[in-house]
Structure 1
Amino acid sequence: MAAIANTIRSSREARRQRRPDAAGILFAAGLGLLIVGLAVPRTVGHLLALPGDPIADAIRIDGPVDAVELDRLVESRRAALAWIGEAALWQELGSAHYLRAQALPLDEAQARLGELAAARDALTRALEARPLDSHGWMRLALVELLLLHRDAAARALETSIESAPAQRDQLDGRIRLGLLLWDRLSDAGHDLWQQQVRLRWRSDGAATGQLIKRLRNVPRFRAALASEPGGDAWMDALVASPAFRQP
């Protein structure tokens, strides 16, 4: 009898060990639902962004984009951002609103202000997530300038330079914008601007000469290049050249 009882107990124990752990099953199921729940918004968001992707790519390389395409980009980015808050989507939305503002006639002042305000909001959201995005800060500086927020534009310009001082594709734009905002730049901002001039000169003296000819602010460029070996002599030769004196 004892042997039979032991056999029964062993059989029950074996069945108990083979029986799935209910808590474990619930945990696994919950984890699976969580993973699916996290994946679905990202998947939907990226699908909604697809129609605007070619347009965003064109903007990124300064390609031509018409008004209908800009509208499509804004629509796709807003739809995607309802599901996922990626910085790149905010950046592209801000750029689209900026370009729409640029395309509007000057007599549509309210519409331009609305687009610029939307651009500023989207770019600010993007920069909160990517504070070292020098291109984003540069675009924000342009938007703030068009909104007549000159102090904010100067701060954004300085931050753009600080984020990536040697960003060669931005040197000319930073130099132009710095001259427009000169009276709003900090002392450190003036130093940063001069640094940009020196970097431009070192990379391509001839192109820098053409830039100075267009912008014409010789004293500020001379001050920026004064610390460079040969900078003063180069400026003297540039200003004395017949090509520089031509309109």
Structure 2
Amino acid sequence: MKKMILACLLAAAPALVAAASGPAVPSFEVDLNNRAGLQRGARTFVNYCVSCHSAEFMRYARLAQDLGLTPEQVQANMVFNGGDANQVMRVAMRPKDGAAWFGQAPPDITLSARSRGADWLYAYMRSFYLDPSRPFGVNNTVFPNAAMPHVLASLQGTQELVDGHLTLTAPGALEPEEYDALVRDLVNFMVYMGEPAKLVRYGLGVKVLLFLLVFSGLAYLVKREYWRDVH
């Protein structure tokens, strides 16, 4: 029992430390039933993330099946490395090149939503700010001194840290509300990608609840009929 309690405390320690010392992060509501949003998130992911980060536990063909896309659509709009829709989301960048350019090789991010949490990812992608002291000219309030450049800067614009608050000083291609919506779709997709079976479980859960509802009604009718003869 003591070992179990210790293991639980150790597992919760990073989250407790982050809550105690890190900046507050907004609450993010995951919506895996929004198929159009997942499709938009997948589009953003392959256009802005896969150039550096791999997702080797996710296969394009599985993505097409779950998100209601055809293999042809995925092949034409998401597979840019000359492969086919049956391959996994593997980046063309070699680890040693990534380490040379960024200081460390960009990690695989298939499970980032499970390890970091959706709230953290949503806050992180909205919290880059101008910092000339950093190699890529930006820093992040959620993950200070992150090696990653702000790949969505052209969409969000430039933020600066003014009196401890993030302030948009140069607009991007999207309005702030549009950029937040794009990040929500991206994070939703990353949550799905971390555990695609969630979509199956959600669909099965609805069917099970409907079955139990019908079965309970039938069981009640049988029970009432049975006790009518007893009395």
Shorter-chain TM band: under 0.3
TM normalised by structure 2 equals: 0.22
TM normalised by structure 1 equals: 0.21
Structure with greater strand percent: 2
Q: Which has the higher contact order (CA 8 A, sep 6+)?
A: 2
Larger CA Rg, structure 1 vs 2: 1
Structure with greater helix percent: 1
